[in-house]
Amino acid sequence: MTAAVAVPTAVARAARPGFGSVLRAEWIKFWSVRSTAWSMAMLFVLGAGLTVLVCATSASALASQEIDEAPGSFVTWGLMIAQVTAVVLGTLVATSEYGSGMIRATLAAVPRRGSVLAAKAIVLTGTLLVVGTATAFAGYLGGNAFLTAEGIGLSLGDDGVLRAMFGSGLYLAGLGLLSMAVGLLVRHTAAALSTVLGLVFVVGNMAFLLPGEWGEWVAKVLPGNSGSPVATPVPFNPVLLDPWPGFAVFAAEVLLLLAVATVAFRRRDA
Amino acid sequence: MIVARDLTKTYGSRTAVDGISFTVEPGRVTGFLGPNGAGKSTTMRMLLGLDRPTSGSISVNGHRYADSPAPLREVGALLEARALHPGRTARNHLRWLAASNALPASRVDEVLGLVGLESVADQRVGRFSLGMGQRLGIAVALLGDPAVVVLDEPVNGLDPEGIRWVRTLARDLAAEGRTVFVSSHLMAEMALTAEHLVVIGRGRVLADCTTADFIARHAASHVRVRSPQAADLADLLRRRGCDVAADGGVLRVQGLDTTGVGDLAGASGLVLHELTLVRSSLEDAFMTLTADSVEYGAAPAGAAR
């Protein structure tokens, strides 16, 4: 152990950092904690695994119309549960930095707060897009095999099936981003998690109990309800918005919340 | 060089930093000294662009920290209370920091070696002792080989060997011409490390001078005299304008050195049993200076009775 500082030639010659540097830093950060790999593994296991399981157990009942639902609702079944992991991951991307005080190291290294936020958003949504889509394909391939055996299988060319595969990635990416925005605003893991989970799963379902046409519209545009139709060939709930208009509403909500979070993040003391 | 001008930070109605101005020059270690709650960490956070000053400014090398294109290569900082994720390894923590400022990955291994953490580089930092955490914090500060090094309470949690290592490191960095700014609430530690002191209490600068000046000015000494004729000697000393406090046969004399007191007693034929110069410690001087500015002072034992 010596107190001398090494000759700094390599540092002096290093290039000026740009947005790519910030992106690389956030990518290393994202994958160097175990919660990321765990969340992604859970997303895949729940998303693909439950789809296969539910298809396997329901295939004959669906074929005999004992269950009066479209088989298209079943090939992405697991995503309904797996979306929780996207919420957890998105929340942690923001709140884990506040819980540990890491945010001060982050902002001392990159004082341009907008860049930090953009890099976090790109790493998170990119990952969820890829893993979400892959999970949907795996669930479809596994689950559809059981449906095909009963003669009610869907091909990728069928209406909405391919859209639902990529739509699953899109919806999970949006949900992750929404959770990150809430995490940035609340800056506390438990509070942020309960806010998003409560909004998407509890408030989203309760809202259908609201009376009249007005109440139905409120329920339709709530984030989970507007964003999820794009992620399935045929939604279980028949009153939801159409896939792409719904996703447009969802995306607008996510971007609005992200804008509010960005303003707060740039203004507040770290 | 770090320059603070009328720097102020208020949180609601509480003023944490109250219009302070100081300059930290390169080539020497400047100690930033003050009791807990004096505003040291708040000042450090404003220096690093983490907190926004309510008014005034603090700049590094003539500009705001946040305006630096590659801040880690200009200013290296050891932040308070380990700003680390416990689940990440030391190496990965340094890797992302290096990437963020486009530093070569080879620099990570260099600083790990520099602080003596090579053998635990791939352990998660949540398992680190306080001392290992501080060493990693110092590795972070040195990562970009910066001309300005800011260390917030660097010796906290270090063992004696570690404390000496930080002291030597700070001096060596300054000797290389770097600006070294070290905060501490430990006067004795600063006296050994820093050549210049900025002392703050309750958000105001109480002293800004060389450490030698500070000691000379604030660490008052007195002469302790024991004599069977203490009362006579006390009268004599008082007539010479000395400040004398008597406690039985022991006098506490200020205003004359041991030679003066001895000569005076000898000339009057008074017997002395003891004649000692008592230097008050630096810690005492610091306590005296900041006594009014301690945020949460403990009442002396028995004061409640």
- The domain segmentation of chain A, as residue ranges, is 19-267
Kindly state the average pLDDT of the residues B289-297: 65
From residue A197, alpha-carbon distances to A228, A229, A240, B210, B286 in Å are: 14, 18, 19, 58, 53
Alpha carbons B275 and B13: distance in angstroms, whole number: 53
Is pLDDT at B75 greater than 50 in this prediction? Answer: yes
B230: distance to nearest CA of chain A, Å?
54
- Confirm if A78 and A54 have CB atoms less than 8 A apart: yes
Over residues B226-252, the mean pLDDT reads: 90
DSSP for residue A46? I
Mean pLDDT of B62-66: 95
Alpha helices (H) in A32-112, listed in sequence order: 34-44, 50-63, 79-100, 102-109
Report the chain B residue with the minimal C-alpha distance to residue A108: B48
Answer yes or no: do A17 and B69 touch at CB < 8 A: yes
**Which chain B residues have a beta carbon less than 8 Å from that of A103?**
83
A-B CB pairs within 8 A amount to 134
Which residues in chain A are closer than 8 Å to B123, comparing Cβ atoms? Answer: none
Q: Which domains does chain B have, with CATH numbers?
A: 2-217 (3.40.50.300), 221-279 (3.30.70)
Token digits of residue A181: 């925005």
A194 touches chain B (CB under 8 A): no
Backbone phi and psi for residue B13, each to the nearest 5 degrees, phi listed first: -95, -5
Q: Does A17 sit within 8 Å of B100, measured CB to CB?
A: yes
Give A-chain residues touching B47 at CB under 8 angstroms. none
Query: A112–B85: do the CB atoms touch at under 8 Å?
Result: no
CB atoms within 10 A of CB B261: 25
Question: Cβ–Cβ of A96/B81 closer than 8 Å?
Answer: no
pLDDT tens per residue, range B105-124: 999 999 999 999 999 999 99
Cα of A9 to nearest chain B Cα, Å: 10
What is the structure's pLDDT at A7? Answer: 47
CA quadruple B137, B142, B144, B147: dihedral, nearest 10? 130
pLDDT of residue B296: 55
Q: Tell me: the pLDDT tens digits for A103-134?
A: 999 999 999 999 999 999 999 999 999 999 99
> B105 to chain A nearest CA, in Å?
10
Confidence of residue B156 (pLDDT cuts 50, 70, 90): confident
Percent of chain B with pLDDT over 70: 93
Chain B residues touching residue A18 (CB < 8 angstroms): 102
Q: Is the predicted pLDDT of residue A242 greater than 70, yes or no?
A: yes
The interface predicted TM-score (ipTM) is 0.90
Residue showing tokens 């790519």: A20
Q: What's the average model confidence in pLDDT over B173-193?
A: 92
pLDDT band for position A6 (cuts 50, 70, 90)? very low
Q: Is residue B8 within 8 Å of residue B200, measured between CB atoms?
A: no
Chain B nearest C-alpha distance from A28 (Å): 6
Structure confidence at residue B278 (pLDDT): 83
Nearest CA in chain B to A269: B51
Q: Report pLDDT digits (tens) over A168-212.
A: 999 999 999 999 999 999 999 999 999 999 999 999 989 999 998
Q: Which of B95, B71, B93 is nearest to B84 (CA)?
A: B93
Q: What is the dihedral of CA A12, A17, A22, A28, to 10 degrees?
A: -40
pLDDT at A2: 43
